[in-house]
Amino acid sequence: MNFFAFDIRKALIIVIVIALPLLSINMKRNPDEDPWYKKPFSAAVSLIQGGYSTFTSGVRGTTSLYLKLIGIKKANLALQKENEELRAQLGALTELKLENERLTKLLDFKRSTSMELLAAKVIARDLSLDHASIRINRGTRHGLKKLQGVITVEGVVGYVWKTETDSSQVVVLTDRSAAIDALVQRTRARGLVSGKNLTTCRLRYLERADDVAPGDMIVTSGLNGYFPKGFPIGKLTSVRKTDFGISQEAELQPVVNPANLEEVFVVLNSGQEDFSDRFGSSDFGPPLLSKANPLPEGNGEAKPESQDKPGEGR
């Protein structure tokens, strides 16, 4: 019965297939909105494309960050190195500045006095923990002799004890075996300063009737000629007078901190210089006393209520 002997069903399918795009082209549609049957696809596409976009931007970002990190790491290493170099330079410059300040202070002091002084550097400390001595880089070749006084701008350090050709051992006044003739600045009472422990000293052989009180300044007597007269040694912190006996004993805090010694002066010739009138003035005076421990009013007036109390003050 099939007149043309072909499959009508196939032909119909072909027609539909061809007609569909034509129908789609010629269909009137709303330009602002997708038809309803396209919406799920659009949404899906949007979702997938968004996902891809996020993924690629993430990958791109991570890659970029990684590449940047390599650069940052290199830059960081370079900056760290530069920082270390600058820190080292800064440390060296600070050290130089401090040294310069110290040396300027020493030079000013040396210029302002008629004493014959020799600057020396501390090169070693005592072998024993319970003795206070230092070694300086000046010896007999530089004119050093036993018992010559050793001072800093602040006050007395000690005296030369053993001399070698190029170095000398100095007993610091905080050593138990040290002995320096001293005066109480206010009352001129005389005693002997020696070490008690590594930070404090004691003033011995004061007469019982001597007027001494905590806060009094102790200065060198200048009698032996090894130290100038009136040069600061320390400040009394306590006075001990027992119920019997002929003397009294006092403790003092040295104006020089033996733990901070770097440069010192050896008094080659004290020139009979008297610091009694200069001590405490504005142009010269131990910073420790003038700033940290200012003298009591009236140049260290006695505080009688503190006297005669054994073991007081420390």
> What's the chain's length in residues?
314
Q: Tell me the H-state helices in the chain.
A: 8-26, 39-111, 287, 297-300
The CB-of-171 to other proteins minimum distance in angstroms stands at 5
Residue 163 sits in the site that holds other proteins (CB under 8 A)? no
Among 26, 30, 128, 282, binds other proteins (CB under 8 A): 128
Q: How far is CA 266 from CA 136, 148, 192, 198, 263, in A?
A: 10, 7, 21, 21, 10
Instruction: From 289, 293, 37, 268, select the one nearest 148 (Cα to Cα).
Output: 268
Coarse DSSP helix, strand, coil percentages of the chain, rounded to the nearest 5 percent: 35, 25, 40
Residue 159 sits in the site that holds other proteins (CB under 8 A)? no
DSSP-assigned letter for residue 183: E
The CB-of-194 to other proteins minimum distance in angstroms stands at 7
Nearer of residues 130 and 305 to other proteins, judged by Cβ: 130
Residue 221 sits in the site that holds other proteins (CB under 8 A)? no
The CB-of-310 to other proteins minimum distance in angstroms stands at 15
Site for other proteins in 130-149 (CB under 8 A): 130-133, 135
Residue 88 sits in the site that holds other proteins (CB under 8 A)? no
CA torsion angle 152 158 163 164 (round to 10) = -50
Instruction: From 216, 208, 206, select the one nearest 186 (Cα to Cα).
Output: 216
Among 113, 163, 168, 169, binds other proteins (CB under 8 A): 169
Among 113, 148, 152, 194, binds other proteins (CB under 8 A): 194
Nearer of residues 133 and 253 to other proteins, judged by Cβ: 133
CA torsion angle 254 255 257 260 (round to 10) = -160
Among 118, 120, 155, 175, binds other proteins (CB under 8 A): 175
Nearer of residues 75 and 259 to other proteins, judged by Cβ: 259
DSSP string, 55-72: HHHHHHHHHHHHHHHHHH
Residue 204 sits in the site that holds other proteins (CB under 8 A)? no
Among 64, 177, 281, 299, binds other proteins (CB under 8 A): 177
Among 153, 171, 217, 288, binds other proteins (CB under 8 A): 171
Residue 126 sits in the site that holds other proteins (CB under 8 A)? yes
Quick one: 269 exposed, middle or buried, by C-beta within 10 A (0-12, 13-18, 19+)? Answer: middle
- Whole-number Å distance between alpha carbons of 132 and 20: 111
Nearer of residues 123 and 223 to other proteins, judged by Cβ: 123
- Whole-number Å distance between alpha carbons of 119 and 263: 7
Among 123, 145, 287, 309, binds other proteins (CB under 8 A): 123
| Contacting residues toward other proteins, per CB under 8 A | 123-133, 135, 161-162, 169, 171, 175-177, 194, 196-198, 258-259
